[in-house]
Chain A
Amino acid sequence: MSDVKTRIDELVKTNKVVLFMKGNPQMPQCGFSARAATILTHLGVAEFAHVDVLSDPEIRQGIKEYSNWPTIPQLYINGEFLGGSDIMMEQYQNGELAAQLQD
């Protein structure tokens, strides 16, 4: 297993909720990352782990291979890849995201 894959494994397995994003929740650097962080906040997830891929080029590339997903942001809950901001929005609107967060 490559080092970056090990790092990502650790991040998603030791944190219940992890958002890989551009910037941070207070100062997102991309509209899609901003939307993802806002959804989590709206759902009452007061504290979630986040990784700013702009400050970590190795993760920025590695996470795309890890999930076979070409874009940022990416959300992981309980170690599982949940999707990007479109899926987050869809599952926020239909209630599935709130249900996943309660498990």
Chain B
Amino acid sequence: MMDPARIQEIIESKLADCTALIHNDMGDGEHFAAEVVSSDFDGLNLIRQHQLVYGALGDHMKSDIHALSLKTFTPAQWAQRA
């Protein structure tokens, strides 16, 4: 079991200028979806962007997080989206 707020805290603390929105729509504390914005993503392809997020979460990905559906945005992409 993992608290969405804890996931948010970990990701935001490890990536630059980062905002992370975490959803646990099933309410099970294991299957999450996240939208993550960070300037660290600038110039990286999607694989490298997702690897940064997975890397930030480290062993949580092997233990208490069963699934994490990811969408990553650079600050510029996020601004355009709204």
Q: Taking A69-B54, A70-B54, A70-B61 as contacts, is the C-beta distance between A32 and B67 under 8 angstroms?
A: yes
In the complex, what distance in Å separates the CA atom of A90 from the CA atom of B69? 12
In the complex, what distance in Å separates the CA atom of A68 from the CA atom of B68? 16
Is A45 part of the binding interface, using a Cβ–Cβ cutoff of 8 Å?
A: no
Is B70 part of the binding interface, using a Cβ–Cβ cutoff of 8 Å?
A: yes
Interface residues of A in 71-93 (CB under 8 A from B): 71, 81-87, 90-91
Interface size, B (range):
10 to 19
Are B61 and A71 in contact, with the CB atoms below 8 A? yes
Nearest B-chain residue to A96, judged by Cβ: B46
Are B47 and A87 in contact, with the CB atoms below 8 A? yes
Are A84 and B50 in contact, with the CB atoms below 8 A? yes
Q: Which residues of B contact A68 (CB under 8 A)?
A: 51
Nearest A-chain residue to B61, judged by Cβ: A70
Is B62 part of the binding interface, using a Cβ–Cβ cutoff of 8 Å?
A: yes
Nearest A-chain residue to B72, judged by Cβ: A86
Interface size, A (range):
10 to 19
Give the residue among A32, A71, A83, A90 with the most B Cβ atoms within 10 A: A71
Are B47 and A81 in contact, with the CB atoms below 8 A? yes
CB distance from B73 to the nearest CB of A (A): 11
For A86, give its contact among B50, B51, B61, B62 (CB under 8 Å).
B50
Is B71 part of the binding interface, using a Cβ–Cβ cutoff of 8 Å?
A: yes
Nearest B-chain residue to A68, judged by Cβ: B51
**17 A-B interface contacts by CB (under 8 A):** A68-B51, A69-B47, A69-B51, A70-B54, A70-B62, A71-B54, A71-B61, A71-B67, A82-B47, A83-B47, A83-B50, A84-B50, A85-B69, A86-B50, A86-B69, A86-B70, A87-B46
